[in-house]
C-alpha cells in the first residue's frame, strides 16, 4: 500500500480516468500487471538470474521513463535500450543502475556514453577497437554472434573476441548473445537454440580460460525465458513478455507463465451522426452503407499507431461493452465506427481499441494478428501524441 502511494507520488500515477476522459487518445498502463509479469518471469528462471528489463522503443509503447522508474523502485537495476538517446532519456529521468545500449553507437558519441554512465555493446571487435581509441573509460558488454547473423563478433573468432577484454579503456561488465528461434519448440528449432547456447557457453569458457572476466552473461529474451528457462545465466532480457504480451496469439509458452497485459488503448467518441443509405463515408468513398447507419467518429488514427489495414480486415472497437466495426478508411487522426446497434452512444464516450470493456476484450495479440503483424510492432508504434496514463 505504502509502495503504491509512493509510486503514485513519484510518477504522478493517476487513478482510472473518470468518464469522459480528458485525453484525445491514450493508453492505460497497469503497473500492478507489470510487477506481476516481472515476478512471474523471475520465478521461471534460476534464482541467481536477474532481470534486465528491455525498455527500448519507449518501453514497447508503454512509456520508457515511467516504466523504468517504476521497475527501479521495485528492485530492477538492469535496463536495455536500443540506442544512446533512449539511454540518455532514462538518465535524465533519474533512472539508476546499468543501462545497456543493445545496438551500435558511433565512437563519436563516447563523451555522452561516459557522461550518462551508459554501457555500450561492442558489436564487433572492430567496434571495440574504435571505442577504445577514443581514450575514455567506458563500460561495455561484448556481443557474440552465435547464429543470429545480425550483430556481434562471430563465435568462431576467438582471437578477436579475446581482444575485446584487453583494451585499456574498456571495462567489460558483461558478455551476451541473442537467440534467433527461441519462440519455436519443434525439434529443428530446439536443436538450433541449443547449438547457439552451446556456442555461447563455449566462448565464455574460452574467455575465462584466457584469464578474462566475461562479467554478467546473458542470452535469453522473452521467448528464451518462456521456452528455455533452465539456461544458466546471470541476466535475462525480457521485453514483450514483461509487458504481459506474446508476439503472436497462438505462440507456445512452455513454462505456462501467466502473463497479464499491462496496456489498454483508448480513444474518445467525438461525434455521433446518422448517415443515410448510399451516402459515402470518409476518404475515397470507400464505404457506402446500404441502409441508414449511425456513425461515431473516434479521436484516434494511423498517426497514433492504428494501422490502416485494420479497417480492411474486419477491425472493430468496443463502446459501451459492445463491438463497433470500423468503417471507411482510417484517417491520420480519426476513424469512424458503426454504432447503429449500440444503444445511447454519445460524444465523450470511451472507445477501447485494445483492452477490456464489460464482458468484451480485444487483446493486443488479436489486434496484431488482424493487422498481419506481431504484437511488438503494434505496441511499439503507438504514437508519441497518445497520452500515457498509469494506474495501480
Ligand X SMILES: *Cc1c(COP(=O)(O)O)cnc(C)c1O
- Smallest distance from ligand X to CB 350, Å: 29
Sheet strands (E) in the chain:
25-30, 50-54, 78-81, 98-101, 119-122, 138-145, 153-154, 170-176, 216-218, 235-236, 263-275, 293-298, 316-319, 322-327, 335-338, 350-357, 360-362, 387-391
Residue 54 binds ligand X, judged by CB under 6 A: yes
Nearest CB to ligand X, comparing residues 78 and 178: 178
Residue among 69, 72, 175, 222 that touches ligand X (CB under 6 A):
222
Exactly one of 16, 167, 283, 369 is catalytic; name it: 283
Exactly one of 16, 42, 56, 137 is catalytic; name it: 56
User: In which residue are the cell numbers 461515431 written?
Assistant: 296
Residue 131 binds ligand X, judged by CB under 6 A: no
Q: Looking at beta carbons, which residue is closest to ligand X?
A: 239
3-state DSSP assignment of residue 51: strand
- Smallest distance from ligand X to CB 380, Å: 9
Residue 174 binds ligand X, judged by CB under 6 A: no
Nearest CB to ligand X, comparing residues 104 and 116: 104
- Smallest distance from ligand X to CB 232, Å: 18
Nearest CB to ligand X, comparing residues 102 and 293: 102
- Smallest distance from ligand X to CB 233, Å: 12
CB 135 within 8 A of CB 113: no
Contact pattern from residue 241 through residue 260 relative to ligand X, giving x for each residue in contact according to CB under 6 A and a dash for the rest: x-------------------
State in Å, rounded, how far the first CA of the chain is from the last one: 10
CB 272 within 8 A of CB 296: yes
Total interface residues for ligand X by CB under 6 A: 12
Nearest CB to ligand X, comparing residues 238 and 261: 238
Query: Binding site annotation covers 150?
Result: yes
Of the candidate spans 109-117, 189-197, 237-245, 275-283, the one that interacts with ligand X by CB under 6 A turns out to be 237-245
Q: Catalytic: 155? A: no
Distances from the Cα of 55 to the Cα of 68, 311, 365, angstroms = 7, 30, 19
> Alpha helix (H) ranges present in 116-246?
125-133, 158-163, 187-209, 222-227
CB 159 within 8 A of CB 206: no
Give residues with Cβ within 8 angstroms of 261, minimum separation 6.
33, 243, 244, 245, 355, 363, 364
- Smallest distance from ligand X to CB 176, Å: 7
Of the candidate spans 239-247, 258-266, 270-278, 288-296, the one that interacts with ligand X by CB under 6 A turns out to be 239-247
Q: Catalytic: 283? A: yes
3-state DSSP assignment of residue 34: helix
CB 124 within 8 A of CB 152: yes
Residue 178 binds ligand X, judged by CB under 6 A: yes
Nearest CB to ligand X, comparing residues 21 and 247: 247
> Alpha helix (H) ranges present in 45-124?
56-60, 64-73, 84-92, 110-115
CB 165 within 8 A of CB 212: yes
CB 115 within 8 A of CB 136: no
Of the candidate spans 90-98, 202-210, 236-244, 291-299, the one that interacts with ligand X by CB under 6 A turns out to be 236-244
Identify residues 362-381 at the interface with ligand X (CB under 6 A): 376
Residue 226 binds ligand X, judged by CB under 6 A: no
3-state DSSP assignment of residue 159: helix
- Smallest distance from ligand X to CB 323, Å: 29
Alpha carbon distance 249, 139 (integer Å): 38
Q: Given the DSSP bridges, would you call strands 170-176 and 216-218 parallel, antiparallel or unpaired?
A: parallel
Residue 239 binds ligand X, judged by CB under 6 A: yes
Binding residue positions: 150, 332
Q: Which residues are catalytic?
A: 56, 283
Q: Which residues bind ligand X (CB under 6 A)?
A: 54, 56, 102, 178, 221-222, 237-241, 376
Binding residue positions for substrate: 150, 332
Amino acid at each position: 500500500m505504502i509502495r503504491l502511494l509512493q509510486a503514485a507520488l513519484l510518477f504522478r500515477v493517476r487513478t482510472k480516468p473518470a468518464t469522459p476522459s480528458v485525453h484525445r487518445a491514450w493508453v492505460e498502463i497497469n503497473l500492478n500487471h507489470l510487477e506481476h509479469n516481472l515476478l512471474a518471469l523471475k520465478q521461471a528462471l534460476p534464482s541467481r538470474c536477474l532481470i534486465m528489463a528491455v525498455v527500448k522503443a519507449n518501453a514497447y509503447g508503454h512509456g520508457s521513463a515511467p516504466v523504468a522508474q517504476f521497475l527501479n523502485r521495485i528492485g530492477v537495476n538492469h535496463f536495455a535500450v536500443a540506442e544512446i538517446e533512449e539511454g540518455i532519456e532514462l538518465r535524465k529521468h533519474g533512472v539508476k543502475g546499468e543501462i545497456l545500449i543493445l545496438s551500435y553507437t558511433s565512437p563519436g558519441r563516447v563523451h555522452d556514453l561516459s557522461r550518462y554512465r551508459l554501457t555500450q555493446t561492442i558489436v564487433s571487435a572492430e567496434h571495440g577497437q574504435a571505442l577504445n581509441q577514443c581514450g575514455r573509460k567506458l563500460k561495455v558488454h561484448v556481443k557474440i554472434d552465435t547464429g543470429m547473423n545480425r550483430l556481434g563478433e562471430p563465435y568462431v573468432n576467438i582471437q578477436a573476441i579475446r581482444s575485446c577484454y584487453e583494451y585499456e579503456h574498456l571495462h567489460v561488465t558483461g558478455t551476451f548473445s541473442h537467440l534467433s528461434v527461441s519462440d519455436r519448440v519443434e525439434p529443428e528449432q530446439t536443436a538450433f537454440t541449443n547449438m547457439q547456447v552451446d556456442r555461447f557457453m563455449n566462448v565464455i569458457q574460452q574467455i575465462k580460460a584466457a584469464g578474462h572476466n566475461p562479467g554478467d552473461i546473458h542470452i535469453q529474451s522473452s521467448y528464451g525465458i518462456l521456452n528455455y528457462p533452465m539456461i544458466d545465466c546471470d541476466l535475462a532480457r525480457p521485453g514483450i513478455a514483461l509487458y504481459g504480451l506474446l508476439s503472436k496469439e497462438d505462440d507456445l509458452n512452455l513454462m505456462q507463465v501467466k502473463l497479464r497485459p499491462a496496456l489498454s488503448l483508448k480513444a474518445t467518441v467525438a461525434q455521433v451522426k446518422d448517415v443515410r443509405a448510399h451516402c459515402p463515408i470518409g476518404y475515397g468513398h470507400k464505404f457506402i452503407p446500404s441502409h441508414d447507419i449511425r456513425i461515431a467518429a473516434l479521436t484516434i488514427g494511423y498517426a497514433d499507431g492504428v494501422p490502416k489495414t485494420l479497417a480492411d480486415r474486419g477491425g472493430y472497437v468496443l463502446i459501451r461493452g459492445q463491438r463497433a466495426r470500423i468503417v471507411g478508411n482510417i484517417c491520420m487522426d480519426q476513424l469512424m465506427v458503426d454504432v447503429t446497434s449500440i444503444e445511447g452512444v454519445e460524444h465523450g464516450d470511451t472507445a477501447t481499441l485494445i483492452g477490456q470493456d464489460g464482458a468484451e476484450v480485444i487483446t493486443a495479440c488479436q489486434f496484431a494478428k488482424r493487422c498481419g503483424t506481431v504484437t511488438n510492432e503494434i505496441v511499439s508504434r503507438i504514437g508519441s501524441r497518445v497520452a500515457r496514463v498509469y494506474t495501480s
